[in-house]
A = this chain, B = another copy of it.
C-alpha cells in the first residue's frame, strides 16, 4: 500500500504553473502565494461527506470535478477570480483506481480556471473531502449577500432543477424515462461553476449567492441579510431541459427548492439590465430575470398572470434531514 506521502506526491503534486502568483506549492508546511497588489482575497471552504453530499459509489472523476466546482461556485457568487485551493482528504484506504480519476477530474477543472492546488492534507478515515479556495476581487466590488436594494431585478443564471430531478430518479422518488434521467444526470454529477459570469458582474450586480440548497432558501439569505423582501414569478424560472418536460407542480417545486443547481442568483438595479445582458453574453452564460426586490419583508410567489401562489417547500438542512 502507498504511504501517505507517496500518495500526495503521486496524485496531487504538480509543478507550479503560474510561478508569478504561486511562490511555493505543495510540499512544505505552508504554500506561499503572491497577492495581486490592491486586490481583496476571497476565501471559502466546503466539506463534502459520503452518503450526504454524494453516493458511496459516486464515479471518482465526476466527484473530483464536483468537489472543486462547488467551491469555484462560491468564488463566482462573490465575483472573485480563482487563484488557488487546498485539498484535505480523509480516505478509508489508499487505492490508485480511485485516486487517479478523482485527482484527474479535479485538476482538469482546476486547469480550466487557472486555479492551482497548493497544499492540503491526507489522512485515513471515513471519506471526507474538504476544499478551501482563494480568489481575488477588486475592493468594493464583491457581490455580497447584504447588498440587495428595493427595486433591484432578481436574475438567475442557466437553468434550475435538473440536478434535483436526477436525484429523484436515482432515489426512485419518481419514475423517470431513461432519456430524461440521462439528460438531467450531468447537472447533478458535474455542475458548471459560473465563474466567468460572476467576475463579469462585478460593478454591475449588487447582491449574489450561488444556489446550492434551493433557490427559495438561498435567495432567503440575500433577503435576510439585506433587510428586504421579494416577489418571484414562478413561471419565469428557467427550468432545466429535462425538468421542462415534467408536469407543472413538479417543475415549480424543483426549480424553487431543488438544490445542487450551482447557478447564480443575483440582484441588479433595473437601469443596469443592458449591462447585465452584456456581461452574460461576455461570459457566454444565459441569464433570466425572475423577480424583483421589494422593501416589504418576505418572499411572495406569483404565477405568469401575477396571481399569488402558495407552495409547500423545504430548503435543504444537513442537520434537520435524517
Docked-complex contact B317 and A5, CB < 8 angstroms: yes
Complex interface: chain B residues within 8 A of A50 (CB): 125
8 contacts between A and B (CB under 8 A): A27-B225, A29-B44, A43-B134, A45-B86, A45-B132, A47-B90, A122-B318, A125-B126
Docked-complex contact A125 and B29, CB < 8 angstroms: no
Q: Which of A208-224 contact B (CB under 8 A)?
A: 208-210
Complex interface: chain B residues within 8 A of A31 (CB): 42-44
Contact A44 to B145, CB < 8 A, known contacts A29-B74, A94-B319, A317-B4? no
Contact A320 to B3, CB < 8 A, known contacts A74-B30, A90-B128? yes
Q: Residue A53 at the B interface, CB < 8 A? A: yes
Kindly state the separation between the CA atoms of A34 and B318 in the bound complex, as whole angstroms: 32
Complex interface: chain B residues within 8 A of A208 (CB): 29
Nearest chain B residue, comparing its CB with the CB of A132:
B132
Docked-complex contact A126 and B123, CB < 8 angstroms: no
Kindly state the separation between the CA atoms of A146 and B320 in the bound complex, as whole angstroms: 48
Complex interface: chain B residues within 8 A of A52 (CB): 123-125
Contact A319 to B125, CB < 8 A, known contacts A32-B40, A41-B41, A45-B86? no
Kindly state the separation between the CA atoms of A319 and B3 in the bound complex, as whole angstroms: 6
Nearest chain B residue, comparing its CB with the CB of A126:
B126
Kindly state the separation between the CA atoms of A126 and B50 in the bound complex, as whole angstroms: 10
Docked-complex contact B43 and A119, CB < 8 angstroms: yes
Stoichiometry, as copies per complex, reads: 2
Docked-complex contact A30 and B86, CB < 8 angstroms: no
Interface residues on A, range: 35 or more
Complex interface: chain B residues within 8 A of A142 (CB): 23-24, 30, 32
Docked-complex contact B123 and A29, CB < 8 angstroms: no
Q: Residue A233 at the B interface, CB < 8 A? A: no
Docked-complex contact B23 and A130, CB < 8 angstroms: no
Q: Residue A137 at the B interface, CB < 8 A? A: yes
Docked-complex contact A75 and B30, CB < 8 angstroms: yes
Q: Which of A118-155 contact B (CB under 8 A)?
A: 118-126, 128, 130, 132, 134-135, 137, 139, 142, 144-146
Q: Separation in Å of the A82 CB from the closest CB of chain B?
A: 11
From B24, B48, B88, B134, contact of A46 by CB (8 A):
B88
Q: Residue A37 at the B interface, CB < 8 A? A: yes
Q: Residue A277 at the B interface, CB < 8 A? A: no
Complex interface: chain B residues within 8 A of A126 (CB): 49, 125-126, 128
Complex interface: chain B residues within 8 A of A122 (CB): 47, 318-319
